[in-house]
Amino acid sequence: MESIYSTYISEDLARKMLNVGFPLYKYGVGGYDGKPSFFTVDENNPMWETCDRFQIPTYAEALDMFLDKDIIISIEPQEDCSIDEIEFSFTIYYKTNHRFVSGACKSFEETLQYAVKLVILSQNKI
């Protein structure tokens, strides 16, 4: 079974990560390895072959990049739910300004995706 951590975030979120300064892996000339990636311009642009190509990170790689910026995501099952209706809560801790953000979703996967998205989108506001 594949772990949610080894799946790739969406291209849209990867582009946003790049735009707010996260260090995505940049492919060199002839170095493409088949992993999900995107170009910095639309492929309909006649210059797309000469522009930069970046690898889309996995959730694990995104979490590592967050940790490098002192951002920690904690996900835990809710204690007050029945076994059939388990929910997961998350807390995002921004160490630099001692700020917390929290929420909850129905599945671990949905919770991780939502928390990662919130971190990326919040970087424009920090």
Nearest-10 crossing angle of helices 59-68, 108-122: 40
> Given this model, what pLDDT does residue 2 score?
66
> Given this model, what pLDDT does residue 79 score?
73
Task: State both tokens at 71.
Answer: 């951002």
Residue 75: burial class (beta carbons within 10 Å; 0-12, 13-18, 19+): middle
Read off the amino acid at residue 25: Y
Confidence of residue 30 (pLDDT cuts 50, 70, 90): confident
- 100 near 109, Cβ under 8 Å? no
Question: What mean pLDDT value characterizes the chain?
Answer: 85
**Mean pLDDT value across residues 6-29:** 91
> Given this model, what pLDDT does residue 17 score?
93
Q: Rg for the chain (alpha carbons), in Å?
A: 17
Taking the CA atoms of 49, 50, 54 and 55 in sequence, report the sign of the dihedral they define: positive
